[in-house]
Every structure is written in C-alpha cells, then in structure tokens.
Amino acid sequence: MFRKHFNKIEEARAFAQAIVDTVREPFLVLDQDLRVIAGSRSFYLTFKVSRDDTEGRLLYELGNGQWDIPKLHLLLEKIIPERGVMEGYEIEHEFNNIGPRTMCLNARKLFYETDSRTYILLGIEDITERLTLEREKDDLLRQKDVLLEEVKHRIANSLQIIASIILLKAQTVQSEESRVHLQDAHKRVMSVAAVQQHLHTFGEGMGPVEMGPYLSTLCETLSTSMIGDSRPVSIKVVGEGGSATTRQAESLGLIATELVMNAVKHAFPIDKIDGRINIAYDVDGTNWKLSVSDNGVGKPDGVFAQPKTGLGTGIVKALAQQLGAKVETLAGPEGTTVSVTHATFIAKMPHVA
C-alpha cells in the first residue's frame, strides 16, 4: 500500500516521522540493536534533548548514558524478545537535566515478512506529576480522616458532658414535671450519642451503611439504656435489610430511636408479659421503608398528621421531611406500626407476631 502512495523512500520516511510526531507521549522507534531510528517531538521536549543528539545513537548512550537504566535493559533485552509486547512497565530514574522522573513504558516488537530485521516501538509516559498529585491527594485524605476522627471524638465528649449536666439538673429540680422533661432530654442526648457512635462503626464515616447490623447494635444500646432487666420488653430488627448513605443512616437511626422511645413510653403503660418492639428496614431500588411495630395498647391512627404533637413525634416528622419520606401509623388490637416510607416503596406492613 505504501508503494502505491510513495514513490521515494524519503517521502515514506517523512510520512512515518509525521505519524511519530503526532503522538502526544514521548515515543521512540528502535532497531534490533536498540539504536534510535526516530523520536517524537514530545520526546525531545520532555527530556530536553535534540534530534541530532538522539537519532542514530544507541539508546543506552543517550544523554551521556542517562538512559542506561537496569530496568530498561530488562524490558528491552528480555521481556520484549520473549513476549513481543509490554504495557504499563513503570521505571523511576533521575536525569541530570530534568531531575527525578517516573515513567510508564509501553513497548511492542515490530517485524515485516519481507524484512529480516525487527524493530521496537517504545512509548514513554511521564507520570511524575500525576503520581505527585495522587500522593498529595492521599495525604489530604489522611489528614481529613484524622480531623474527622478528632471532630467525632469531641462531639462524643460534648454529648456526654451535656447529658451529665442534664441528669444532674434533673436530680436537683423540685418540680416533678420539670424532672420528667429533663430526663427525656437526657435520653434524647444519649440517643444522639449512640447513633453517632454506631454510625461511625458501621459506615466508617463515609461509605454506605449496612442498616441491618447498624440498627441491631443500636437496638442493643436502646434496650440496655431504656429497658434493662426491669421490664419484659424486647427490641429486635426484622426484615430484609439493605444499605443507606451515611446521612440517611444518621436520620434513620434517630427516627428509629424516637419511635422506640415512644413505644416504650406509651405502648406498655402496664407491664405486659412478652412486650415486643420490631424494627424493619427494607429497600427496593432507590426507595426504602423503615417501620417500628409494637404489640402494645395501640396509638391513634394519623397521630403524625396532627398539627400539634409531642416532641418525639415532631422530631420524627421533621427528619422524615428532610429524607423526602412520609410517616404513617396503623393501630389496632395487636399494637401499633409506624412506617416511614420513601417515594413509592411498596411492601407488606410488618407486624409483631
């Protein structure tokens, strides 16, 4: 084909050189003796050498021996003859005129049926700057993680201090009503602290959170702090589970905590044998549903739609609104189920057996 378009060797050579020069990465064409036949403009600009000092010379002699690199010997004299091709071969070397460089080499052996000689095409990508930026990015990420850990530690300490102050105040006030409100406030501060602690454990601060283990551990904390051994009420997680983003998991954990607190407080006014609270979280694509069910005395339907509600109900409504979800209650002789549903999720209403 080349003979049809080029009548002279000089024309074919000029055409081949033009192709080499269009390659953005530094590029060399070597003969079987590793002598440079041609180099790209990018090669000369990157390594600050001239065409006259490069073409026709052995690769290892370029730049007063700067290219006499042991790993380059291995690539060109062993790997390429055996395999015929090599991609992504990384080399680090310090050049006298441009300093330390990290290069990614791609090499391929080339031969023609009408020519007994072989050639090597050598692409040289200078990845020094890219690796430097990646190292800087990794350093910044590590610094961010350290700062995030410090912030979480301070938040946890602050919540503990606030909870302790509220509890001390509750023990000193004379009004029983004020004492009850302060005790409720103490429980809510402790619930926020528990949510933050478990969120960090299961979400590692950034990635998706598996809601099954997260809610199960949260339930254990709520059961210990709110029920203990004094009341025959159990809390457990049911349903298929799924994952949520860190922000969603934080809000869902707070919602579940509030609903469990409400159930413990209102569903069992008289100690009931085998009182149970079930938490279910199910996912359908990008939609999800969180439900808290109890087998208590029942709570009026539509309580979350009422304009005036208690503090816990108001917190649940506000968090659900932030998540783009709706809150529904279903009450009956077998107890109450409160569901927080995102978008068009369709699933069976969980119940307490």
Q: Are residues 233 and 353 in the same domain?
A: yes
Q: Check whether residue 237 and residue 343 sit in a common domain.
A: yes
- Name the domain boundary from 151, 181, 207: 207
Which of 176, 207, 238 terminates a domain? The answer is: 207
Residues 298 and 331 reside in one and the same domain: yes
Cβ contacts of residue 290 below 8 Å, gap of 6+? 252, 255, 256, 279, 280, 281, 339, 340, 341
Q: How many structural domains does the chain have? A: 3
State how far the alpha carbon of 145 is from the alpha carbons of 93, 140, 206, in Å.
Answer: 33, 9, 10
Q: Which of 190, 207, 224 finishes a domain?
A: 207
Q: What is the CATH number of the domain that holds 98?
A: 3.30.450.20
pLDDT digits (tens, 9 = 90+) for 283-340: 888 889 999 999 887 665 555 545 555 667 888 888 899 899 999 988 887 889 999 9
Q: What letter represents residue 230's amino acid? A: S
Does residue 171 sit in the same domain as residue 182?
A: yes
CA dihedral 40, 77, 74, 17 (to 10 degrees): 0
Helix, strand, coil percentages for the chain (3-state, nearest 5): 50, 25, 25
Indicate which CATH number applies to the domain containing 335. Answer: 3.30.565.10
Mean pLDDT by 10 residues, the chain (353 residues): 48 60 80 87 86 89 86 85 84 86 88 73 88 88 72 66 77 83 75 66 66 84 69 81 84 87 78 80 87 80 53 83 90 87 64 52
Q: State whether 156 and 118 are in the same domain.
A: no
DSSP 306: S
Clarify whether residues 164 and 291 are in a common domain.
Answer: no
User: Do 314 and 187 share a structural domain?
Assistant: no
User: Does 273 lie in the same domain as 251?
Assistant: yes
Region label for 119, one of left (φ > 0), alpha (ψ between -120 and 50) or beta (otherwise): beta
Q: Does one domain contain both 270 and 301?
A: yes
> Do 203 and 234 lie in a common domain?
no
Instruction: Give the H or E element holding residue 131.
Output: helix 128-172
Pair 298, 230 in one domain: yes
The token pair at 320 is: 């659900």
Segment 92-125, tens digit of pLDDT = 888 888 888 898 988 888 876 666 778 888 888 8
The residue segments making up the domain with residue 235 are 210-353
Q: Are residues 122 and 135 in the same domain?
A: no
